[in-house]
Amino acid sequence: MTPEIEEVPLRKCNGNSIIPTVATSHQSVKRDEKEVKLVA
């Protein structure tokens, strides 16, 4: 259960990072899409 709880904040941190950083937004979005596909 510990690893699952750690994964949640990591994802939230990434999402928050995408808002302030537009340059990394492209890379973050691509990573998010890959993560979403893996989760699906």
pLDDT tens by residue, 1-40: 455 555 555 555 555 554 555 555 556 566 666 666 666 5
pTM exceeds 0.75: no
Express the helix, strand and coil content of the chain in percent, nearest 5 each: 85, 0, 15
Alpha-carbon 9 to chain mean position: 9
Distance CA 6, CA 29 (A): 20
Q: Where are the domains of the chain?
A: 2-39
pLDDT tens by residue, 18-28: 455 555 555 65
